[in-house]
């Protein structure tokens, strides 16, 4: 560890900033964060123009007890040292407000208070952060690297101070400064680094990795505008650029010394030494921005390293600029920067596809170069490349980081001089792949020609990997059964519609027919030449007629244009990224038990038969810190009382102890009070964001997730329409007796170019506009679409939820993680047997889960039945479609949306997601929900058992399994 360091800075100001004059004079105040002390020494009142700031950083070997020079010096000056309390934290916030300015000095308003508070927290994190990686460097431990295109973090302030166990101290400190912690925390925008479950899973994993003291690092891209900010207008969803970086990000630290070259285009040449060199093309730089990820009740603080892209200074054409060609002068800069502008840029255009591929390669190349550089630095003079997999584990979160495989090969082959066999062995032992889809057609593919143009060296490597795979397939299945071999090659190859490698090009060439047979055949043809054919004009002719034959050989052939039907174009050549992941890695995991079985039985069945040892299951999990402890303090207090301690926050198995209290009336009463408090907060939030007023006494029924046809928000809203129609047909007394009051809440973004999803958003908002203004219905039914749903909104809605909808078509949701968050917070789920629903239902009990719908093994047969015209829709489904068509929800034409649910075949028709099939089962299940909700004792018991049964779905459990089964890493705890 480094020796103690001392830094003294004298600072002079004539006037302090406004808003802090009421603070007491700070004389000899020391702020201690870990082993660093911030000492503010004042010689007079706060308004004195002369001030001295002393910052000292002390660290020592964890196993040694050394004399503390700071404590000695503080004692000599009469200053005292102590653990962080509200006064020392307030001093730290004051310091950053004045000396780390991002705002003008004349006001201390909420935004400034937030930034100063975040910077004071970051001070503590930086000390732990540096010590964490100093220890990793010193011990040269094996480290896991989690690569993901998304990290949906949410706000960091409350999570960080919660993990540091300083929530109370910060609340008190801000109170002294005139603010409430909650109001200050609300100033933080959600980091626009993700969109859905993929990114939230990655963020939960980082939290668990830090908390469990595993040596790890996350890698992603620093998107300037994120996906988009969603606005809801009379026309439906509107997209606007996200502005989360507009005033800066206090959590990130730019590492200007950490940057790597990224190349696109160019060509591959062979050098005089026989090595391949990728030269020419377009060169940019990836610069590192680091974000600290603190663990809970541990000093461990790991890193999320985000890459931003820029052009080199040399690429700015000064001559062109001075000549007035300003756009041309900045072309390289604009081209480089746009790579990290937007998450998932639209790829309907060729330019959009190029940009997406550039994004993926930037993430992989910069991260791999960084990982390799760290391995070399830690290894020093004893570098042995065969030990690389013993020090590095790379996890690819879905197929977006697939280019890690050819990029690591390129680095090892071209830059480090390893042989193909050495590099391939190292790569396969290093890389692992998490699959997130059950749909074979959804597996990522890239145009071979596009990739060849943009990444020529990588295509050469991929071709060699494909050849390795072909060799394995031929070795496994032989060449006797050509039909079997052809099928396996077609299914397994990385390259689709690409000729076999030269070494195997003659496998399917049949021997030429016998010359005797050919001669005989020709003789027969000659003797029986009176063959009836169509002439070029379409008339029937006798080809045996000599006169006509003569014409065909002369004038007609010369004068007439033969109407030849061109052969169909060859299918496009593609690179199958998922296949490359399976081939290039040592482990493939699904993210729920049912999903992993589908992966083995359907998605990658041929690969599973080839390499069964590669495949395993890792059911997703979510962090209990953010998703219970911090976002639901009322429920957390009850859980702690019942279990006797806060151990459940780290050991969620303790949640299981709630089962024995499920019938306790006192707990049930307190449980309902906690839920109602959360509903009051959510109602205020919805009023602020949408203008709608909702009753906290109504059931809160919530579906919040990405808008997609397979997630079936359409089934939900059609169920609401049916409910509304039946209400309108009843008297007020009948309605009140029949239906439980409900607030139906939707949230989620439809991708900008996904027309059908955007229609569904529009439909939900139109239904809400009609229902919410209907005086006959009143508080019996409200329909709310929350715009711009994000993690911060989830932290308010999930604790308030009572029923949550996870109603995807069975077999189409890989796992889901929001279902886990809802169950943890005592919400009861209505859903199909899909993804993690299956395991949640097993754990919470079948009686505590509202199940409906077809099962995964039935889906193919039901679609076949539909294609054959045998499906007979339920009359209630036809009734609700007719009601929508009647125009009751406004003038918008929903014909195309409704038509997608009709017919037996065709793109965008035939109800591919089986909304009509499951509709009767769904509305009958909803009737059961109403019945149970009326019995609040029973409902509360189910709620308690849902929280008790959610113990299995902590991301801590998932990370332990990854660490043991895939990464082979062990915890390293700072003292």
What positions carry a catalytic annotation? 436, 705-706, 711, 817, 821
Using CA atoms, how far apart are residues 110 and 98, in angstroms rounded to an integer? Answer: 14
Q: Which helix (H) or strand (E) holds 626?
A: none
Burial of 352 (0-12, 13-18, 19+ CB in 10 A): middle
Residue keyed to tokens 């505008």: 225
Using CA atoms, how far apart are residues 23 and 447, in angstroms rounded to an integer? Answer: 64
| Sheet (strand 781-786) strand order | 781-786, 742-747, 699-704, 803-806, 828-831, 850-851
Question: Which residues, 6 or more positions from 658, have their beta carbon under 8 angstroms from its beta carbon?
Answer: 639, 642, 643, 944, 945, 947, 948
Q: Which two tokens stand for residue 387?
A: 């030990």
Please tell me whether residue 78 adopts helix, strand or coil conformation: coil
CB-based contact 674:682 (threshold 8 Å): no
3-state class percentages of the chain: helix first, strand second, coil last, to nearest 5? 50, 15, 35
DSSP 303-316: EEEEEEEE--GGGS
Using CA atoms, how far apart are residues 94 and 25, in angstroms rounded to an integer? Answer: 12
Please tell me whether residue 534 adopts helix, strand or coil conformation: strand
Please tell me whether residue 699 adopts helix, strand or coil conformation: strand
Q: Which helix (H) or strand (E) holds 176?
A: helix 167-176
Closest CA to 250 of 366, 117, 159, 145: 117
CB-based contact 822:801 (threshold 8 Å): yes
Phi/psi-derived region of residue 501, left when phi > 0, alpha when psi is between -120 and 50, beta in every other case: beta
929, 930, 936, 938: CA torsion to nearest 10: -40
Using CA atoms, how far apart are residues 164 and 181, in angstroms rounded to an integer? Answer: 15
DSSP 397-457: ESSTTTTHHHHHHHIIIIIS---HHHHHHHHHHHEEEE-----GGGS-EEEHHHHHHH-HH
Closest CA to 217 of 93, 303, 155, 120: 303
Please calculate the CA angle 307-298-73 and round it to the nearest 5 degrees.
Answer: 100
Burial of 366 (0-12, 13-18, 19+ CB in 10 A): buried
Q: Which two tokens stand for residue 705?
A: 């997730």
Please calculate the CA angle 500-505-508 and round it to the nearest 5 degrees.
Answer: 100
Using CA atoms, how far apart are residues 719 and 924, in angstroms rounded to an integer? Answer: 10
CB-based contact 282:261 (threshold 8 Å): no
* Widest distance between CA atoms in the chain: 123
Using CA atoms, how far apart are residues 409 and 314, in angstroms rounded to an integer? Answer: 30
Using CA atoms, how far apart are residues 544 and 548, in angstroms rounded to an integer? Answer: 8
The full length of the chain comes to: 975
Q: Which two tokens stand for residue 960?
A: 């332990």
CB-based contact 465:458 (threshold 8 Å): no
Helices 915-934 and 936-949: angle between axes, nearest 10 degrees:
120
- SS3 of 765-823: the string is HHHHHHHHCCCCCHHHEEEEEECCCCHHHHHHHHHHCCEEEECCCCCCCCCCCHHHHHH
């Amino acid at each position: 560890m480094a020796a103690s360091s001392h830094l003294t800075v004298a600072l002079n100001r004539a006037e302090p900033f406004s808003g802090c004059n009421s603070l007491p004079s700070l004389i000899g105040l020391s702020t201690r964060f870990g082993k660093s002390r911030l000492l503010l020494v004042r010689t007079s009142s706060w308004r004195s123009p002369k001030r001295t700031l002393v910052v000292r950083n002390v660290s020592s070997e964890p196993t040694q007890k050394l004399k503390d020079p700071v404590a000695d010096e503080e004692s000599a000056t009469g200053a005292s040292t102590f653990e962080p309390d509200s006064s020392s934290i307030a001093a730290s916030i004051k310091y950053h407000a004045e000396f780390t300015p991002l705002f003008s000095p004349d006001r201390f308003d909420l935004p400034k208070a937030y930034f100063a508070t975040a910077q004071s927290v970051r001070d503590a994190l930086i000390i732990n952060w540096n010590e964490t990686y100093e220890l990793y460097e010193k011990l040269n431990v094996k480290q896991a690297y989690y690569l993901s295109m998304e990290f949906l973090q949410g706000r960091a302030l409350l999570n960080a101070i919660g993990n540091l166990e300083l929530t109370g101290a910060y609340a008190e400190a801000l109170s002294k400064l005139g603010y409430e912690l909650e109001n200050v925390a609300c100033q933080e925008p959600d980091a626009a680094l993700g969109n859905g479950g993929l990114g939230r899973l990655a963020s939960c994993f980082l939290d668990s990795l830090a908390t469990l003291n595993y040596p790890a690092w996350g890698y992603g891209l620093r998107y300037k505008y994120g996906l988009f900010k969603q606005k809801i207008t009379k026309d439906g969803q509107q997209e606007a650029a996200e502005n989360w970086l507009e005033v800066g990000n206090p959590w990130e630290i730019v590492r200007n010394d950490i940057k790597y070259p990224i190349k696109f285009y160019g060509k591959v040449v062979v050098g005089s030494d026989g090595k391949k060199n990728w030269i020419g093309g377009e060169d940019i730089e990836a610069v590192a921005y680091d974000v600290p990820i603190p663990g809970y009740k541990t000093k461990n603080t790991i890193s999320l390293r985000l890459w931003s892209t820029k052009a080199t200074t040399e690429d700015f054409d000064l001559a062109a600029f001075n000549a007035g060609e300003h756009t041309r002068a900045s072309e390289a800069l604009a081209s480089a920067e746009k790579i990290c502008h937007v998450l998932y840029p639209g790829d309907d255009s060729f330019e959009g596809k190029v940009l997406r591929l550039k994004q993926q390669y930037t993430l992989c190349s910069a991260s791999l170069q960084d990982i390799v550089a760290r391995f070399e630095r830690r290894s020093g003079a004893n570098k042995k490349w065969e030990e690389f997999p013993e020090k590095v584990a790379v996890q690819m979160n879905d197929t977006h980081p697939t280019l890690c495989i050819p990029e690591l090969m390129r680095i090892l082959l071209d830059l480090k001089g390893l042989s193909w066999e050495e590099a391939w062995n190292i790569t396969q032992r290093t890389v692992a792949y998490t699959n997130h889809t059950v749909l074979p057609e959804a597996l990522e593919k890239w145009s071979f020609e596009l990739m060849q143009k943009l990444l020529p060296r990588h295509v050469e490597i991929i071709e060699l990997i494909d050849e390795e795979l072909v060799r394995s397939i031929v070795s496994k299945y032989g060449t006797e059964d050509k039909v079997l071999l052809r099928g396996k090659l077609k299914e397994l190859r990385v390259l689709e519609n690409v000729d076999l490698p030269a070494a195997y090009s003659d496998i399917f060439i049949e021997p030429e027919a016998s010359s005797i047979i050919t001669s005989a055949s020709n003789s027969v043809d000659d003797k029986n030449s009176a063959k009836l054919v169509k002439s070029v004009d379409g008339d029937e002719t006798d080809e045996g007629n000599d006169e006509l034959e003569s014409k065909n050989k002369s004038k007609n052939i010369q004068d007439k244009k033969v109407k030849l039907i061109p052969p169909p174009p060859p299918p496009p050549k593609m690179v199958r990224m998922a296949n490359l992941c399976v081939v290039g890695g040592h482990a493939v995991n699904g993210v729920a038990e049912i999903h992993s079985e589908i992966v083995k039985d359907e998605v990658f069945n041929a690969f599973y038969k080839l390499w069964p040892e590669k495949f395993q299951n890792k059911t997703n999990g979510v962090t209990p810190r953010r998703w219970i402890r911090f976002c639901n303090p009322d429920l957390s207090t009850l859980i702690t009382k019942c279990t006797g301690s806060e151990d459940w926050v780290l050991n969620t198995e303790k949640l299981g102890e709630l089962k024995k209290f499920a019938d306790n009336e006192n707990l049930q009463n307190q449980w309902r009070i906690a839920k109602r408090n959360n509903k009051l907060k959510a109602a205020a939030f919805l009023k602020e964001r949408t203008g709608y007023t909702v009753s906290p006494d109504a059931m809160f029924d919530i579906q919040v997730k990405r808008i997609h046809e397979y997630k079936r928000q359409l089934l939900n809203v059609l169920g609401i329409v049916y409910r509304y129609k039946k209400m309108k047909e009843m008297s007020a007394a009948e309605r009140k007796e029949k239906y439980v009051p409900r607030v139906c809440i939707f949230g989620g973004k439809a991708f900008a170019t996904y027309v059908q999803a955007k229609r569904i958003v529009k439909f939900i908002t139109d239904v809400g506009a009609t229902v919410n203004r209907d005086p006959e219905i009143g508080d019996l039914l409200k329909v709310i679409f929350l715009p711009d749903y994000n993690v911060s909104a989830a932290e308010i809605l999930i604790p308030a939820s009572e029923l949550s909808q996870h109603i995807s078509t069975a077999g189409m949701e890989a796992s889901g993680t929001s279902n886990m968050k809802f169950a943890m917070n005592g919400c009861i789920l209505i859903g199909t047997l899909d993804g993690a629903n299956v395991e949640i239902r097993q754990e919470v009990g079948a009686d505590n889960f509202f199940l409906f719908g077809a099962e995964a093994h039935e889906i193919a047969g039901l679609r076949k039945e539909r294609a054959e015209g045998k499906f007979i829709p339920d009359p209630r489904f036809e009734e609700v479609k007719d009601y929508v068509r009647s125009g009751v929800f406004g003038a918008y034409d929903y014909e195309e949306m409704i038509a997608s649910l009709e017919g037996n075949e065709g793109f965008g028709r035939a109800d591919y997601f089986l909304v009509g099939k499951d509709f009767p089962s769904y509305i009958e299940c909803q009737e059961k929900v109403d019945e149970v909700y009326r019995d609040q004792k029973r409902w509360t018991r189910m709620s308690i058992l849902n929280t008790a049964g959610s113990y299995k779905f902590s991301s801590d459990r998932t990370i332990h399994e990854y660490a043991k089964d895939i990464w082979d890493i062990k915890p390293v705890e700072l003292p």
